[in-house]
């Protein structure tokens, strides 16, 4: 293996430390405690784990955490009423509705009912538009975490060829916008892309957000390229049990790449750290306070 490992776990700890420092300052100087409300509808086990982890890390960073757990059959009107209450609540600076929602609820409508300045997931259509036009916005947590790691490793990304594999609204598209904002030449690829290996071979930066275990082999990677693996896939181990793997084949890619994020311990921890960063950023913007440096795009 020749690639340098980009340690997302350590980086996330550093980001959480910066958030906690800023929270302390806001509390002492302004008497304000940033607050994050997380709304979970139903009992999806993976979502429950994420929500618990988000709540714990929010409190550890010195912020208030408000969890709202609703039954799986909660009506759209009741959910919208809760969001309206949270929008009006002065103690709440960030609102996150855990996705996916049960099928009878309209996800777009729900997300777009969150006040844009409290939309710490960055999925509200206003924030999507602001990001797309290069204006100050709330930035989706996973791509923001990827960008922070890339900036930390490379310094400037200007002029680099970046290939994003995947065009989802939560990862692929905002990732491409962020890379474009940092003056990369960006190609977005997807399931209909012709000759994906050739496209990826031209990349100085590869961001894989596909949801297919170990899909990208080392021989697609340009020697020395930086590989950011967003994928989280649980696969069966031959000896029984399961393990997590990314969207790239770690062993063969690490042989060729200049730097690579592992799974687990890469993008995953950065996502929650960026949620905390977005909450403190939202709090600062709402109250007209100085924003923490280096914690947004
Ligand atoms: P989606 O399923 O929404 O999007 C997957 C994208 O991959 C689509 O654009 C799809 O193309 C594309 N794709 C599928 N198959 C291929 C293929 N064979 N070749 C090229 N492109 C392909 O997934 P998400 O963006 O939500 O998530 C992607 C991965 O990232 C998942 O493993 C998920 O678990 C993980 N994830 C990790 C997070 C973290 O915190 N680390 C946070 C969010 C997601 P098309 O549009 O044409 O169908």
* Residue 8: pLDDT over 80: yes
Q: Which atom, in ligand 1's list, is nearest to the CA of 211? A: 32
CB 256 within 8 A of CB 218: yes
CA of 166 to the centre of ligand 1 (A): 5
- 90 catalytic residue (yes or no): no
What percent of the chain is predicted at pLDDT more than 70?
Answer: 100
- The rounded distance, in Å, linking the Cα atoms of 184 and 235 is 33
Asked if residue 144 has its Cβ within 6 Å of ligand 1, the reply is: no
Q: pLDDT tens digit string along 124-152? A: 999 999 999 999 999 999 999 999 999 99
Q: Domain locations in the chain?
A: 30-115, 141-268
Peptide bond into 4 cis (omega under 30): no
Q: Determine which one of 18, 57, 98, 177 is catalytic.
A: 98
- Secondary structure (H, E, C), 69-126: EECCCCCHHHHHHHHHHHHHCCCCCEEEECCCCCCCCCHHHHHCCCCHHHECCCCCHH
String of DSSP letters for 43-76 = --HHHHHHHHHHHHHHHHTT-EEEEEEE-TT--H
pLDDT of residue 262: 98
> In angstroms, what is the span from residue 56 Cα to ligand 1's centroid?
27
Task: Examine domains 30-115 and 141-268 and report if their fold is the same.
Answer: yes
69 is catalytic: no
pLDDT tens per residue, range 228-280: 999 999 999 999 999 999 999 999 999 999 999 999 999 999 999 999 999 99
Domain 141-268 has CATH 3.40.50.720: yes
Q: Is the peptide bond before 264 cis (omega within 30 degrees of 0)?
A: yes
As a whole number of angstroms, the distance between CA 174 and CA 146 comes to: 11
- Please name which of 257, 217, 211 lies closest in space to residue 230, comparing C-alpha atoms: 211
Q: How much is the pLDDT for 87?
A: 98
Contact 247, 229 (CB under 8 A): yes
Instruction: Classify strands 259-260 and 226-229 as parallel, antiparallel or unpaired.
Output: parallel
Between β-strands 205-208 and 226-229, what pairing exists: parallel, antiparallel or unpaired?
Answer: parallel
How much of the chain, in percent, has pLDDT values that exceed 90?
99
Q: State the CATH architecture for 30-115.
A: 3-Layer(aba) Sandwich (3.40)
Would you mind telling me the total number of residues written for the chain in this entry? Answer: 297
């Amino acid at each position: 293996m020749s690639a340098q490992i980009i340690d997302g776990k350590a980086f996330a700890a550093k980001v959480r430390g910066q958030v906690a420092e800023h929270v302390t300052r806001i509390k002492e100087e302004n008497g304000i405690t940033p607050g994050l409300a997380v709304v979970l509808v139903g009992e999806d086990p993976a979502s429950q784990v994420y929500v618990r982890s988000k709540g714990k890390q929010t409190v550890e960073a010195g912020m208030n955490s408000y969890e709202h757990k609703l039954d799986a059959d909660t009506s759209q009107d009741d959910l919208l009423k809760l969001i309206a209450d949270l929008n009006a609540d002065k103690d709440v600076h960030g609102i996150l509705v855990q996705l996916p929602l049960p099928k009878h609820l309209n996800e777009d409508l729900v997300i777009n009912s969150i006040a844009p300045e409290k939309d710490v997931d960055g999925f509200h259509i206003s924030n999507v538009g602001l990001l797309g036009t290069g204006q100050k916005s709330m930035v989706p947590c996973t791509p923001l975490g990827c960008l922070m790691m890339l900036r930390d490793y490379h310094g400037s990304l200007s002029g680099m060829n970046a290939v994003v594999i995947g065009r989802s609204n939560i990862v692929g598209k905002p990732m491409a916008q962020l890379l474009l904002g940092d003056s990369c030449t960006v190609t977005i690829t997807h399931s209909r892309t012709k000759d994906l290996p050739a496209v990826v071979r031209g990349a100085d930066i590869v961001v894989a957000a596909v949801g297919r275990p170990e899909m990208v082999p080392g021989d697609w990677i340009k020697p020395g390229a930086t590989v950011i693996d967003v994928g989280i896939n649980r696969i069966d181990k031959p000896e029984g049990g399961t393990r997590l793997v990314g969207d790239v084949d770690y062993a063969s890619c690490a042989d060729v790449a200049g730097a690579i994020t592992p799974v687990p311990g890469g993008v995953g921890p950065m996502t929650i750290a960026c949620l905390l960063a977005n909450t403190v950023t939202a709090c600062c913007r709402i109250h007209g306070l100085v924003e923490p440096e280096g914690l947004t795009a």
